[in-house]
């Protein structure tokens, strides 16, 4: 495929990363600390929305697999879903005036669930596209690797805006407490979604679908789409790896909570300070600490993603996953020990950085492994369910983010942290006013919890079969099968 298309797909992935990060990294903080919705409600909302995704994601995958429109097979959904996603992202961070707590919960649930539905409508086809852009396995890996890398870069944009907003907006807006954070989040959401969706939609006009296998009707006795997916052992192992690695999402999803309640950086906050002075100092501290974690993610996660094309050419995917996940687990142990014995954020930085390396690896390699699993499925069954395969990965990603958010909410409950007592127009408290145990408990969300998750996710990879000579055999046999069937690649 032409290099221009490779780069345009990557830019679109970057735009998607911006929009998704605006939701995944901040919605829990916004719902809990800004809208101050009941913790149990937020917990149930995240869980029930994922139950719906269990139906919605595979359904979208099957729709994409079974239909080819005059505009293309995967591309049109990106265009059709763009406007609803834009509107719903803005509404997610818009706090309507005059609603009571019950009405606000209904509003938030409606926006969150429908945002997830329209996002799925675009996300599943988008990450199915590498399979229809090129038939070459190495080139497909390159598309995925660059796309996921730029997607990660895009996800950092809201983080940069959050940092700048925390330093600049307190003086510009002149508001304090809850009102300040409502305005801060809405401004960040507006900038993020408007830029991100322009990049995302541009993909529709810039890439060409070349590998569109003819739709073959299932014959009597042949397995259904869902059965083909669930009986594909390699794919099930990749999905299990994804579920067990859910804790890795904590590093980004919980970072803002850790910034609020685990550490404070800045001048001493004294009892005589006004609410406006406290708001400005705490906002600056939260922005600075959140940025420290983001820099660690950029250097560790994105750095790893930049090297993935080279690593994926030289080593089996399973070896890369096992090695980096064990490295991340060891780093998380050091992070946890330093945090407990010294409470020194700066001393933790090198180990947080190392623990972010497997995040970048998993972000790229899971999609490449699913591509290999679809090759295996096409060779053994004659069907290639690109959309449904991508839906499996999309569902695992959203499930992981939901588990991360639920873990954060459960930690609030476990340590007895009441957001309404920490952040309001009358009472604004810094992390220094919590107990050391509460500080460390919040810090564990970005230290030992992700580490244990990385250790667990390496286990299924010991049983993953598509590696070495077996992978080469599958690729060669599939190419021969396609030639024998007269499948033309445009």
Per-residue pLDDT of 430-484, as tens digits, reads: 677 788 898 999 999 999 999 999 999 999 999 999 988 898 899 889 888 888 8
Asked if pLDDT for residue 328 goes beyond 90, the answer is yes
Q: Which of 387, 354, 355 is nearest to 370 (CA)?
A: 387
Q: What is the pLDDT of residue 308?
A: 84
H/E element holding 193?
Answer: helix 177-206
Asked whether the whole model's pTM tops 0.85, one would answer no
Q: Tokens standing for 74?
A: 């995967």
Q: What is the pLDDT of residue 349?
A: 92
Rounded (5°) CA angle 90-188-116: 40
Q: What is the pLDDT of residue 218?
A: 62
Asked if pLDDT for residue 489 goes beyond 60, the answer is no
Query: How many Å apart are CA 176 and CA 274, to the nearest integer?
Result: 10
Asked if pLDDT for residue 351 goes beyond 60, the answer is yes
Least confident span in 25-34, 57-66, 103-112, 309-318:
57-66
SS3 helix, strand, coil % of the chain, rounded to 5? 80, 0, 20
The more confidently predicted of residues 137 and 193 is 193
Q: What is the dihedral of CA 269, 272, 277, 278, to 10 degrees?
A: 50
Q: What is the pLDDT of residue 353?
A: 92
The pLDDT-based confidence of 424 (bands split at 50, 70, 90) is low
Q: Tokens standing for 336?
A: 């946890």
Inter-residue contact 455 to 325 (CB < 8 Å): yes
Query: How many Å apart are CA 77 and CA 357, to the nearest integer?
Result: 32
Burial profile 317-345: b = 16 or more Cβ within 10 angstroms, e = fewer: bbebbbbbbebbbbbbbbbbebbeeeeeb
Q: What is the pLDDT of residue 421?
A: 67
Inter-residue contact 458 to 325 (CB < 8 Å): yes
The pLDDT-based confidence of 189 (bands split at 50, 70, 90) is very high
147-152 mean pLDDT: 87
Q: What is the pLDDT of residue 271?
A: 75
Of all residues in the chain, what percent carry a pLDDT higher than 90?
34
Q: What is the pLDDT of residue 190?
A: 95
As beta bridge partners, residue 69 has 72
Q: Quick count: other Cβ atoms within 10 Å of Cβ 415?
A: 16
176-186 mean pLDDT: 86
Report the CATH number of the 3-205+223-484 domain: 1.20.1250.20
Q: Tokens standing for 366?
A: 């899971």
The pLDDT-based confidence of 429 (bands split at 50, 70, 90) is low
Q: What is the pLDDT of residue 477?
A: 92
122-140 mean pLDDT: 84
Query: How many Å apart are CA 73 and CA 125, to the nearest integer?
Result: 8
Query: How many Å apart are CA 57 and CA 394, to the nearest integer?
Result: 7
**pLDDT one-digit tens code per residue, 282-314:** 888 888 888 888 788 888 887 888 888 888 888
**pLDDT one-digit tens code per residue, 356-390:** 999 889 988 988 898 899 889 988 888 888 777 87
Query: How many Å apart are CA 195 and CA 197, to the nearest integer?
Result: 6
Asked if pLDDT for residue 428 goes beyond 60, the answer is no
The more confidently predicted of residues 77 and 266 is 77
H/E element holding 371?
Answer: helix 357-381
Which residue in this structure is represented by tokens 């192992």? 237
The pLDDT-based confidence of 63 (bands split at 50, 70, 90) is confident
**pLDDT one-digit tens code per residue, 202-234:** 999 988 888 766 666 666 667 777 788 888 999
H/E element holding 227?
Answer: helix 225-230
Inter-residue contact 32 to 422 (CB < 8 Å): no
Inter-residue contact 227 to 29 (CB < 8 Å): no
The rounded mean pLDDT for the chain is 86
Least confident span in 201-205, 340-344, 485-489:
485-489
Asked if pLDDT for residue 118 goes beyond 80, the answer is yes
As beta bridge partners, residue 428 has 423
Query: How many Å apart are CA 56 and CA 134, to the nearest integer?
Result: 27
Inter-residue contact 297 to 355 (CB < 8 Å): no
Q: Quick count: other Cβ atoms within 10 Å of Cβ 122?
A: 26
The pLDDT-based confidence of 179 (bands split at 50, 70, 90) is confident
Domain coordinates in residue numbering, the chain: 3-205+223-484
Q: What is the pLDDT of residue 69?
A: 76
The pLDDT-based confidence of 326 (bands split at 50, 70, 90) is very high
Rg of the chain taking only CA atoms, in angstroms: 23
The more confidently predicted of residues 343 and 118 is 118
Q: Which of 357, 362, 248 is nearest to 302 (CA)?
A: 357
H/E element holding 141?
Answer: helix 137-155
Q: Per-residue DSSP letters for 257-312?
A: HHHHHT---SSPP-TT--HHHHHHHHHHHHHHHHHHHHHHHIIIIIHHHHHHHHHH
CA 484 remoteness from chain centre: 40
Q: What is the pLDDT of residue 195?
A: 96
Of all residues in the chain, what percent carry a pLDDT higher than 70?
94
Query: How many Å apart are CA 344 and CA 252, to the nearest integer?
Result: 20
Query: How many Å apart are CA 78 and CA 126, to the nearest integer?
Result: 7
Query: How many Å apart are CA 319 and CA 322, to the nearest integer?
Result: 5
Asked if pLDDT for residue 488 goes beyond 60, the answer is no
The pLDDT-based confidence of 4 (bands split at 50, 70, 90) is very high
57-82 mean pLDDT: 83
The pLDDT-based confidence of 153 (bands split at 50, 70, 90) is confident
The more confidently predicted of residues 462 and 132 is 462
């Amino acid at each position: 495929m032409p290099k221009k298309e490779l780069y345009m797909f990557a830019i679109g992935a970057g735009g998607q990363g911006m929009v998704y990060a605006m939701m995944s990294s901040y919605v829990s903080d916004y719902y809990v600390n800004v809208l101050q919705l009941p913790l149990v409600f937020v917990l149930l909302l995240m869980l029930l929305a994922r139950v719906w995704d269990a139906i919605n994601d595979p359904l979208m995958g099957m729709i994409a697999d079974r239909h080819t429109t005059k505009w293309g097979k995967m591309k049109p959904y990106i265009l059709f879903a763009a406007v609803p996603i834009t509107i719903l992202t803005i509404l997610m961070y818009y706090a309507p005036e005059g609603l009571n707590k019950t009405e606000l919960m209904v509003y938030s649930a409606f926006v969150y669930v429908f945002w997830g539905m329209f996002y799925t409508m675009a996300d599943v086809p988008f990450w199915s596209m590498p399979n229809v852009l090129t038939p070459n396995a190495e080139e497909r890996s390159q598309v995925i690797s660059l796309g996921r890398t730029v997607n990660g870069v895009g996800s950092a944009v809201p983080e940069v805006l959050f940092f700048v907003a925390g330093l600049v907006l307190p003086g510009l807006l002149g508001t304090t407490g809850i009102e300040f954070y409502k305005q801060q989040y809405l401004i960040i959401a507006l900038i993020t979604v408007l830029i991100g969706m322009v990049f995302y939609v541009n993909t529709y006009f810039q890439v060409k679908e070349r590998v569109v296998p003819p739709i073959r009707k299932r014959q009597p006795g042949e397995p259904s789409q869902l059965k083909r997916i669930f009986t594909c052992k390699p794919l099930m192992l990749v999905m299990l790896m994804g579920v067990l690695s859910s804790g890795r999402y904590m590093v980004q999803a919980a970072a803002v909570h850790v910034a609020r309640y685990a550490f404070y950086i800045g001048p001493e906050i004294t009892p005589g300070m006004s609410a406006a002075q406290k708001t400005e100092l705490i906002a600056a501290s939260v922005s600075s600490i959140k940025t420290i974690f983001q820099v660690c993610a950029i250097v560790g996660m994105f750095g790893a993603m930049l090297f993935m094309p080279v690593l994926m050419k030289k080593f089996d995917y399973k070896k890369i996953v096992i090695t980096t996940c064990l490295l991340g687990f060891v780093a998380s142990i050091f992070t946890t020990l330093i945090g407990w014995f010294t409470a020194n954020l700066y001393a933790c930085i090198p180990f947080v950085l190392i623990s972010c390396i497997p995040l970048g690896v998993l972000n790229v390699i899971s999609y490449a492994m699913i591509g290999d699993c679809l090759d295996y499925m096409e060779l053994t069954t004659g069907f290639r369910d690109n959309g449904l395969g991508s839906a499996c990965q999309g569902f695992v990603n959203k499930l992981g983010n939901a588990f991360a958010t639920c873990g954060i909410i459960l930690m609030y409950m476990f340590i007895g942290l009441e957001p309404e007592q920490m952040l309001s127009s009358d009472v604004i408290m810094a992390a220094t006013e919590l107990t050391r145990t509460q500080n460390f408990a919040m810090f564990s969300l970005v230290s030992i919890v992700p580490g244990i998750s990385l250790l667990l996710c390496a286990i299924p990879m010991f049983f993953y079969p598509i590696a070495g000579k077996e992978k080469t055999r599958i690729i060669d046999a599939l190419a021969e099968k396609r030639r024998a069937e007269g499948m033309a690649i445009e």
